[in-house]
Amino acid sequence: MTFQVQIKIMPLKDLLDPQGKAVLGGLHNLGLGGIQDVRVGKNITLQIEADNESAARAIAEEASKKLLANAVMEHFEIEFVK
């Protein structure tokens, strides 16, 4: 079976996010003053061929830990897209 998995990777809450701060400055320069904070992360979708959902989740977790996310600075969330 083929599973569509979405992995959200965001900078850890306690860390500064310089990219987010830069985007926030840009938005304020465009006159969008109502925006108070910006955090920028990644959104990765994987199409996984696996026997069942738990096997697909295991593959997605391994991919996140080994390559996609940097555990020192980021946390990730795995979600199945139906």
| Interface with its own copies (CB under 8 A) | 2, 8-10, 20, 23, 26-27, 30, 32, 34-50, 55-56, 59, 62-63, 66-68
Smaller CB separation from its own copies, 66 or 72: 66
Smaller CB separation from its own copies, 33 or 72: 33
Smaller CB separation from its own copies, 38 or 78: 38
Long-range contact list for 10-16, CB < 8 A, 24+ apart? Answer: 10/39, 10/41, 10/74, 10/75, 10/76, 11/39, 11/40, 11/41, 11/73, 11/74, 12/73, 12/74, 12/75, 15/73
CB of 70 to its own copies, least distance (A): 14
